[in-house]
Chain A
């Protein structure tokens, strides 16, 4: 918008000239007053005041106007012949030269001062942004935090839309849309070039998109591609202005990368990337191995159930018992594999609750149903309050958590003992607890049981298990916004695991009238 800019400047200049004229008028009135009242002659030096004021405030043009008008007013009003522009006194010529000289010097000084002030103010803002940036880096948790920090820093300093691409893969994968900013196709192509190091992107490349916007694409640091590649939308700008902005981006990025390098961020990024790749690999391995194990297991379990019901084995008690053993062990193996799969799903962040309004009694009921066989030689006592409020969450995850807790209660208690499941809803919460009369917990064990692969040393020899159960239960309950706790009076005094879930009331508009239509 150069036209608008020019217009704006002219308006400012005119305003300066107008105010200058007012000042000259005031000065004339003042001199008139002095000459008339005090009888002093030659007060015309007062015309210097408008010249100085105009020079400092409104620039050279206004100052020159002030100088010329001042001399002219002096000639007109105060030098004979009065009320005439004729100049007879050489004093007036000297005045004019003096005024013009003052106008030049003062306006130059004022402009320089103003520019310096602006620069130092800009510098101050930059420093403040840079400081905020390094503070954000200091608390950055992972690579994406660092990238977001770079992106935000640049966006706030430049006041432009900025998109950061972490690498080649991301440039091609993100379908041109990030954080509400649409990046046009040609810009993306340039980003991919820059990210793969094919461009010497010290200065960056400008791309003009179809809609006329100018984009600058460059590596955050030309020396270190780990920091990624940025694309900045300058908007519609003239080539000169674009160049100005480009230099500014360069300056800002130089500061930013200096900070990044000082903090050793590049090293940290590559290390984090390597570590996360290792983690990913491990989880993928667990995932695929478990899946591969489960497929033959389905055949084993299915075949065992067919065998145990086969007419040929009807009178063969021992063989039938064997077939049942195969079935039971296959089922146990299946549970262990399921735990491994769940664990890898949890650590890869793959838990996505499918929330709905769920009936707590149904969740408890189906968890007990799933543990029916395991619970068969325990005395099960159910104390479920009537009219429990509905909970908003993923009922399947909650049920699986409860199954793990029940399974644990069975595992660490003797046959014939009692297991109590209670459910109640004190204000705003749903509390489900499972109490057993089993081996309880020591103080040390209480702190450990929620850890992954936690196995109490007291039981490692006598009971089997992967130590994943309660860790999984904890993760599933947390995914539903709840908490899980364990209390125990001490070793061999039983323990109680309590699941606590938040309860919010569903909006039920006109439910009652629906009933009796």
Chain B
């Protein structure tokens, strides 16, 4: 971690994209490093400590997935991937390789900042060993294995709790169907998405204030689920993101 401002490494071969990302991040009190190729990115990530990596998938010299995999082999730094739409399989692959989140191009700065904030907060929580995750009215105490809604303790079945636990450990970030199925049901059921659907339905009945329009356990179509982060909905302005981004200092 840096002394004053968090350091973001931006990896994209398009100079215009790097330019607006730099402006956006600097407005939010980040120190920005840039890389135009995968090789440069790996070198930059090893040379100086970074708090966050934003990486485009279409790099000229190597597959973005390879860069993610290489960096993940020694570092747990939050990685957010920039990808195009209609590449769900690619997104799933990257998330499973260790990317924290993805943003679909073209995107607005506020949307990216919201994701950045979530990723940084998760990193901070992992570092501090904070055992509780709070999302709106819902509190998940990972050490006591207790879930409360508006202060009232919820009765969850073991599998429901396990599902919520896995999501809470990645609170704010996407967890893919395969990851969830593997964690909760074991490796033999990674294709059985209907298990997941039925349990998510049950879980939503218990934890969502309005189960038919879920705001806590959110679906990422074709990819997986995420547990929303308090105040992290996409309408949140850049200023809110800046406050959060400042926290890991």
Contacts and interface: CB of A to CB of B under 8 A. Distances in A.
Given A302-B20, A302-B24, A515-B159, A295 B194 contact: no
B24 A357 contact: no
A395 B88 CA distance: 11
Contacts, number: 114
B106 A301 contact: yes
Contacts of A342: 86
B106 A309 contact: no
A310 B108 contact: no
Interface stretch (B66-74, B132-140, B167-175, B195-203): B195-203
Given A396-B88, A396-B221, A309 B16 contact: no
A302 B109 contact: yes
B154 to A, nearest CB: 15
Interface string A342-354: 1001000000001
Interface in B86-125: 86, 88-89, 105-110
B85 A386 contact: no
A306 B106 contact: no
B27 A310 contact: yes
Nearest to A515: B157
B107 A301 contact: yes
A334 B198 CA distance: 35
A354 B222 contact: yes
The A contact surface, by secondary structure, is: helix
B219 A311 contact: no
B20 A306 contact: yes
Contacts of B60: none
A46 interface: no
B155 to A, nearest CB: 12
Contacts of A384: 212
Contact of A305 (B16, B110, B193): B110
A207 to B, nearest CB: 41
A359 B16 contact: no
Contacts of B23: 303, 306
Interface of A: 294-303, 305-306, 309-311, 327, 330-331, 334, 338, 341-342, 345, 354, 356-359, 361-363, 365-366, 382, 384, 386, 390, 394-396, 399, 506, 508, 511, 514-517
19 contacts: A301-B108, A303-B19, A305-B110, A309-B110, A309-B238, A311-B27, A331-B106, A334-B106, A358-B197, A359-B200, A359-B201, A382-B213, A390-B194, A390-B198, A396-B221, A399-B221, A511-B195, A516-B157, A516-B158
